[in-house]
């Protein structure tokens, strides 16, 4: 019997695991990536505890498409495309790149955005807002609160629900924000519980296009961990109605 070359034997041993790791790296870098939502700023569209899949190629690729941002800083994206107004986008927080956020694109480069008495204005035109009854907003402590529910229709026709916890929220009246080139204006659908572009000092401010990671496409599961009080309650906290929902 001929002795097997030790290098060939080592390669045969590690080739399959390496190929598997390579495919996982390529898929999560270039195609899609799972994300988990720990906060309620995008309720009712996205709930605390939702697991979602982000489309990594929707807007092209930047260094934040790579694990740990392992790439050169650049204001250009490979095969880059701007999001459409109304897209729900996952991105790195400006000034705190360790934090990943998910918000809705409200303003594109060149737009002028303002809040007046809780109503959104885009380029001086008020956005259509329709009352849609009441909803429930969940806090990070697991408590729920009644909220007014509205349907907002953005320029271009995207319709989406928003929640209003208070008649006069802290960010219901703002200055006019002129969105600079290469940046986006983001807002959460839970309007009174969202730190976003309406608060440039303590919130998010304008988001550089470079910081985009993925387009939120679908929830693949949801678990209400905030109200899981013990092992006996754990199975009942799975929200099957939120599985495989388009965002």
Compute mean pLDDT per 10 residues along the chain, 247 residues long, and list them.
60 54 49 86 96 92 72 73 96 92 98 97 98 92 90 97 93 97 97 94 92 95 85 87 94
pTM of the model: 0.85
What is the domain-level CATH number for residue 211? 2.10.109.10
User: Would you tell me how many other CB atoms lie within 10 Å of the CB of residue 79?
Assistant: 8
Tell me how many domains the chain contains: 1
Is residue 56 among the annotated active site residues? no
Of 39, 62, 103, 222, the catalytic one is: 103
Could you tell me the residue range of the domain that residue 196 belongs to?
33-246
In a domain, 6, yes or no: no
Of 39, 41, 194, 197, the catalytic one is: 41
In a domain, 136, yes or no: yes
In a domain, 209, yes or no: yes
In a domain, 16, yes or no: no
In a domain, 18, yes or no: no
Is residue 103 among the annotated active site residues? yes
In the chain the beta strands, taken as DSSP E runs, fall at: 32-36, 50-55, 88-93, 96-107, 112-116, 119-122, 125-126, 128-138, 144-153, 159-164, 177-178, 183-187, 207-208, 212-222, 245-246
In a domain, 2, yes or no: no
In a domain, 5, yes or no: no
In a domain, 14, yes or no: no
């Amino acid at each position: 019997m001929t002795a097997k070359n030790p290098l060939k034997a080592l390669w045969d041993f590690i080739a399959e695991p390496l190929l598997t790791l390579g495919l996982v790296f390529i898929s999560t870098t270039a195609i899609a990536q799972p994300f988990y939502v720990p906060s309620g700023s995008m309720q009712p569209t996205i709930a605390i505890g939702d697991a979602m899949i982000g489309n990594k190629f929707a807007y092209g690729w930047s260094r934040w498409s790579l694990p740990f941002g392992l790439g050169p800083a650049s204001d250009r994206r490979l095969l880059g495309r701007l999001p459409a107004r109304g897209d729900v986008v996952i991105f790195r927080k400006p000034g705190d790149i360790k934090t990943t956020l998910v918000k809705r694109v409200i303003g594109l480069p060149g737009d002028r955005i303002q809040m007046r008495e809780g109503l959104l204005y885009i380029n001086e035109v008020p956005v259509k807002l329709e009352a849609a009854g009441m909803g429930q907003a969940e806090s990070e402590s697991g408590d729920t609160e009644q909220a007014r529910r509205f349907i907002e229709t953005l320029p271009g026709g995207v319709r989406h629900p928003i929640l209003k916890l208070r008649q006069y929220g802290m960010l219901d009246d703002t200055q006019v924000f002129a969105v600079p080139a290469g940046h986006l204006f983001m807002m959460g659908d839970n309007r009174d519980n969202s730190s976003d572009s309406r608060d440039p000092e303590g919130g998010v401010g304008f988001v550089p296009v470079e910081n985009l990671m993925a387009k939120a496409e679908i929830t693949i599961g949801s678990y209400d961990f905030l109200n899981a009080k013990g092992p006996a309650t754990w199975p009942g906290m799975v929200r099957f109605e939120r599985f495989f929902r388009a965002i």
